[in-house]
Amino acid sequence: MNQIPRDLVALLGSRICHDLISPIGAIGNGLELMEMSRSAEGPEMDLIKASLLNAQARIRFFRISYGATGDGQAIGSREVKSILQDFTIGGRVRIDWQTEGEVHRDDTKLVFLLLQCLDTAMPYGGDVRITRSDRSWTLSAQAKKLKALPELWSHLDGDPKPGPITPAQVQFALAPQQAAAMQRKLFVRVTDTEINLQF
């Protein structure tokens, strides 16, 4: 199977997120004006607002996960925590970001891709703790029940088993590409109730 160039995928991700931010922001502005004029209230408006916040959170998260990164770009941990908090509202997976200070955009991108891998394996919810020591990152996930995905984790181990990757699983293909571009090695340990990812 021909590999899509990593830079092209990232540029495509950036383009899509960039083009979606403006109309979603405009919807938010429209809702604020409606609230100020009290022209619309009730459960319908609450549903629209909740859906808008969810869309905004996903765009922010996906912009980092799938967008292009530049040399030396960094992002503050406070912003990362804000993105993760908004992204997980109403979800079953809780994320505890334990890193302070600025983080390289490449590192954040790989962490976000790995978080999506963990989310796929945790359909019933659970807890993820993210820590950093010097240049090493660890994502520790715990859940009462995990979905066994040996064929997908094999992509991160560097020895992918044959089989198609679906759109919902694309993070398992992109994470090792991102790690390779950063000249980092991914390590995966999976048990019945725990997943440990390191790079």
Contact between 102 and 75 under an 8 Å Cβ cutoff? The reply is yes
Does 3.30.1950.10 match the CATH number of domain 74-199? no
Tell me: pLDDT of 21 over 60: yes
Distance from C-alpha of 95 to C-alpha of 92, rounded to nearest angstrom: 10
pLDDT-derived band at 2 (thresholds 50, 70, 90) equals: low
Domain regions of the chain by residue span: 1-68, 74-199
Predicted confidence (pLDDT) per residue in 172-191, tens digit = 999 999 999 999 999 999 99
State how far the alpha carbon of 115 is from the alpha carbons of 41, 173, 198, in Å: 36, 13, 12
More confident: 159 or 59:
59
Distance from C-alpha of 79 to C-alpha of 69, rounded to nearest angstrom: 16
Where does 89-145 have alpha helices with state H?
105-121
Q: What percent of the chain has pLDDT over 70?
A: 95
Q: Which stretch of DSSP H or E encloses residue 30?
A: helix 6-37
Tell me: pLDDT of 140 over 90: yes
DSSP secondary structure code for residue 42 in this structure: S
In terms of Cβ atoms closer than 10 Å to its own Cβ (0-12, 13-18, 19+), residue 188 is middle
